[in-house]
Amino acid sequence: MTMSLPTPSIAPPDVIRCAYAELVVTDLAASRAFYVDVLGLVVTHEDADTIWLRAFEEYLHHSLVLRRGDVAALGVIAYRVRSAADVDVAEEYYRQLGVPLERRPAGTTRGIGDAVRIVDPLGFPVEFFYDAEHVERFTRRYDVHGAGAISRLDHFNVATPDVPFARSYYEQLGFRVSEDIQDEDETVYAAWMFRKSTVHDVALTGGDGPRLHHIAFATHERSQILHLCDHLGALRESDKIERGPGRHGVSNAFYLYLRDPDGHRVEIYTHDYYTGDPDNPVVTWDVHDNQRRDWWGTPVVPSWYTDASLVLDLDGVPQPVVARSDDRESDVTIGADGFSYTRKGDTDTGFKLGAQV
Ligand SMILES: [Fe+2]
């Protein structure tokens, strides 16, 4: 059963894009080795407990915060809004939705101005901010890029037990759907939703939640993703490669999924397509289509469907995880590659992985 939300009396804040994530990590040195030494993210600032990172094209203070803690989890995902006034709008909007909320004065998070942090109706810690400290943009600093250069944060992917509810919540917040996955009964299994003019700022994946499925960074070229694979192989750390490299059906992007030292999943992604026109067509994939998740038909590893990161509430306590249950679904779930086909009407050529749900 899909829940419904009250409709606030004011318009939602004008969200520009996904902006940064904070991950709680248990071994800061190990995480630094992964994110700085392998992925090549730029350290804007660091102290004994926290590292603030950005990619080469980013001029805001950070797009990723690594904070030392006892339990590996998502601390927050943050969206940038269009103006300082939109932070006030966000506060009023979420007060009317009745969710946990805190106003965070400038500097509560280093490099970030006045902000509102909430637990959204899906159970995720989410921040809205406009003001942020500017730092050097390394776009033309080819002397430090390296062969696996990551250019910017691209999107978040969140696991939630009720995708139709999550989709309606984000649509009310002003996000639009670029692509989704449905079955023949129009049950939605996953949806890709955007504010910036790409395929997504946030993807909604059906599964036990609230959990963070992954954060994704963009590169300019496929060669940079392949170099990251070679780099991990040379370090004898190929076990950090979970899935890929490959070509997505959804979004058409070239992808690689990595697991950081705590198991947080990071996607490296290049790249999708422009979606900014008002009549941008929605692409709907059949949940049985073997090429939706991988255009070459490569099976998805089971851990990709089962594993995800806990998320914290505003007091830093892990949110309870609710099992996915949607009685409108058939015995197929989003992970059911056992039922996939490559050509519609062909039930024999798909991969049969058994009960991978
Ligand atoms: Fe992704």
Task: For residue range 128-167, list pLDDT tens digits in order.
Answer: 999 999 999 999 999 999 999 999 999 999 999 999 999 9
CA of 203 to the centre of ligand 1 (A): 7
Nearest Cα residue to 148 out of 85, 241, 72: 241
CA of 92 to the centre of ligand 1 (A): 31
Task: State yes or no: pLDDT of 57 exceeds 50.
Answer: yes
Parent domain of 83: 15-129
CA of 98 to the centre of ligand 1 (A): 30
CA angle (207 as vertex; 293, 311 as ends), nearest 5: 115
Task: State yes or no: pLDDT of 3 exceeds 80.
Answer: no
DSSP letters, 285-307, are EETTBTTTT-TT-PPPPHHHHH-
CA of 214 to the centre of ligand 1 (A): 7
CA of 223 to the centre of ligand 1 (A): 18
109, 73: one domain: yes
175, 285: one domain: yes
Mean pLDDT score of the chain: 92
Mean pLDDT of 205-234: 97
51, 159: one domain: no
Q: Is 144:70 a contact under the CB 8 Å cutoff?
A: no
CA distances from 323 to 159, 170, 342 (A): 10, 21, 29
Mean pLDDT of 92-102: 98
Residue 88 tokens, joined: 């006030």
CA angle (208 as vertex; 206, 211 as ends), nearest 5: 95
Question: Is 352 part of a structural domain of the chain?
Answer: no
304, 173: one domain: yes
CA of 202 to the centre of ligand 1 (A): 8
Question: Is 163 part of a structural domain of the chain?
Answer: yes
Question: Is 2 part of a structural domain of the chain?
Answer: no
Q: Give the lowest-confidence range in 19-23, 43-47, 150-154, 339-343.
A: 339-343
Question: Is 355 part of a structural domain of the chain?
Answer: no
Task: State yes or no: pLDDT of 353 exceeds 50.
Answer: no
Residue 169 tokens, joined: 């919540």
* Ranges assigned E (strand) in the chain: 15-25, 42-46, 50-54, 64-68, 73-81, 101-104, 115-119, 125-129, 152-160, 176-182, 188-194, 202-206, 211-218, 241-247, 254-259, 265-270, 283-286
Token pair 């942020």 in the structure block, residue: 132
19, 167: one domain: no
What is the pTM for the complete model shown? 0.94
Domain stops at, among 95, 129, 163? 129
Q: pLDDT at position 343, please?
A: 76
Q: pLDDT at position 2, please?
A: 59
Instruction: Name the band, by pLDDT with cuts 50, 70 and 90, for residue 105.
Output: very high
Q: pLDDT at position 338, please?
A: 45
Task: State yes or no: pLDDT of 348 exceeds 50.
Answer: no
Q: pLDDT at position 344, please?
A: 74
192, 264: one domain: yes
> What percentage of residues in the chain have a pLDDT greater than 70?
91
- 83 Cβ neighbours under 8 A, 6+ residues apart: 14, 130
Q: Give the lowest-confidence range in 5-14, 313-322, 334-343.
A: 334-343
Task: State yes or no: pLDDT of 184 exceeds 60.
Answer: yes
Q: pLDDT at position 4, please?
A: 81
CA of 155 to the centre of ligand 1 (A): 7
Mean pLDDT of 201-206: 96
Mean pLDDT of 96-118: 98
Task: State yes or no: pLDDT of 332 exceeds 70.
Answer: no
Instruction: Name the band, by pLDDT with cuts 50, 70 and 90, for residue 324.
Output: confident
CA of 204 to the centre of ligand 1 (A): 10
Chain-centroid distance, C-alpha 175: 14
Residue 106 tokens, joined: 């400038």
154, 300: one domain: yes
Which sign does the torsion angle of CA 321, 323, 329, 330 carry? positive
Question: Is 143 part of a structural domain of the chain?
Answer: no
Q: What is the CATH number of the domain that holds 174?
A: 3.10.180.10
307, 180: one domain: yes
62, 125: one domain: yes
CA of 159 to the centre of ligand 1 (A): 12
Residue 353 gets which letter from DSSP?
-
CA of 48 to the centre of ligand 1 (A): 30
CA distances from 99 to 93, 94, 125, 314, 355 (A): 10, 6, 11, 11, 37
**The one-letter amino acid at 132:** A
Question: Is 297 part of a structural domain of the chain?
Answer: yes
CA angle (214 as vertex; 37, 217 as ends), nearest 5: 50
Number of domains in the chain: 2
CA of 96 to the centre of ligand 1 (A): 31
Residue 61 tokens, joined: 């203070």
Residue 332 gets which letter from DSSP?
-
Question: Is 3 part of a structural domain of the chain?
Answer: no
Instruction: Name the band, by pLDDT with cuts 50, 70 and 90, for residue 12.
Output: very high
Sheet holding 283-286, edge to edge: 241-247, 254-259, 265-270, 211-218, 152-160, 202-206, 188-194, 176-182, 283-286
CA of 278 to the centre of ligand 1 (A): 23
Task: State yes or no: pLDDT of 355 exceeds 80.
Answer: no
b/e string for 74-106 if b means 16 or more Cβ within 10 A? bbbbbbbbeeeebbebbbebbeebebebeebee
25, 113: one domain: yes
Question: Is 240 part of a structural domain of the chain?
Answer: yes
Nearest Cα residue to 274 out of 171, 203, 220, 199: 199
| Tens of pLDDT, residues 24-37 | 999 999 999 999 99
CA of 256 to the centre of ligand 1 (A): 9
Task: State yes or no: pLDDT of 189 exceeds 50.
Answer: yes
Q: pLDDT at position 347, please?
A: 55
CA of 62 to the centre of ligand 1 (A): 20
CA of 9 to the centre of ligand 1 (A): 33
231, 282: one domain: yes
223, 108: one domain: no
